[in-house]
Structure 1
């Protein structure tokens, strides 16, 4: 039976993590699943709550950020020979009810990675105005530099097959990895698709994205995408 690892990167998500895990456990999935929480050196009860619930936790000794936390999950997936891996953020914005839907194209051999996009049907929480502006810019940039049309390049709600698990276990962007990883996979010749999902608004806790970090994000990701394009054309 196909096995799926649900990777939950979490930093100070004690207000959200219990309801997320309860939600995952309430669903009868079509494939075999396992949950792993990557606790990114939280200073609250994120780790202890997961352990109380009987969830396997990897406690990182220092804060690696989203890229390092997610890559830890991919390393675990590779070492334990999972067929598929999916990222579900610990803040509860990714609704696990859509997991079967975004896994299906991979099981049918139509994609190597599938991204859950909130901007196909444009239902549910659509993020802040500032972030929507940044997303539109990144869509235009990626679509211009490649022949790939992506509507939600910053979405971390994504599932990948074993071939990509092997790639990400070795090489995964460390800082704001989602748009960079799309370019990386495109350069490697993988097939990427999107499926419509509805995302939730964060209920508790505080997002790490503010105005200053948003500006840094746009500059850093733009440069990384351009460099990846140059690398593709040079080699």
Structure 2
């Protein structure tokens, strides 16, 4: 079954690439608007080559740029997930905290990243801080909402049984509430990482030319469509890989999910 699903996905990708190649070959649009797969592949090779006399694209190879962006996403997500889990636990366990913080969390969750990027730049300048904080603010609301919902949905009988056996408040949280809430929390983490990674281009609009999003923005200014498409492919493919890792972690931590 798994092999069949993989084969179907490979065929689907091959069909899409073939359609793209045929449309580019028909020159319905000029190459400056829609480059073919061969041009994008050439850009992949040239931007990945540090020995071509230009060190990849604008002084950095594709791998170096991807590493910079992933570092920013990693820091932003780590801070956002930590804040989201702690705040979500408080919201799920304490109705007063939920009443106070839920409107603010919902407000932030509704805002697109570019809406508060300018404010972060005013507060923290144009170095790494506003980029990391933007990704952090983008990441923590989904985790907080998922954690609060998961904690609020824990079966009270499990909590009462643990308390009857002498478990204290923190022991109940550690041994009962967190394990029972783990699948939903990881789902929130999955959403948060996806939102943060999709926001990396917005984060790198400010002094972020060394990242993969900065490469896309720079190529857009000079109408280098093949480089833009390459950057989008890199962001999308690495996003799929990261999402697959999170899904694998979710299955490992909660193997019973979907089977009961």
TM bucket (normalised to shorter chain) is under 0.3
Which TM-score applies when normalising by structure 1? 0.23
Higher helix share: 2
Which TM-score applies when normalising by structure 2? 0.22
Larger Rg: 2
